[in-house]
Amino acid sequence: MSSDSGFIPLGQMPQQAGVRTQKDDWTGVVDRRERRRLQNRLNQRAYRMEHITSA
């Protein structure tokens, strides 16, 4: 048995695609208001980028 038997490798999750900085990452945030604020921020950014590229 290796010494890393408890190690679980993690990759980037799909909901982290728009995360630019660590402060934008809402995964692991327990506070409902804070998590919702961060999600709205990322969704607003994605919406604006979509409309800029389609115009």
Asked if the structure places residue 24 within a domain, the reply is: no
Structural domain span for residue 38: 30-55
Residue 3 confidence (pLDDT) = 58
pLDDT for res 2 = 53
Tell me the mean pLDDT in the region 15-30: 77
| Mean pLDDT of the region 17-46 | 85
More confident residue, 54 or 4: 54
Total domains in the fold of the chain: 1
**Position 17 in a domain:** no
Q: 49 lies in a domain? A: yes
Whether 12 is in a domain gets the answer no
**pTM higher than the cut 0.85:** no
| The token pair that represents 29 in the structure block | 């945030």
Residue 48 domain-assigned? yes
Structure tokens at 32: 């409902």
Q: Is residue 37 part of a domain?
A: yes
Torsion-angle region of 28 (φ positive above 0: left; ψ -120 to 50: alpha; else: beta): left
**34 found inside a domain:** yes
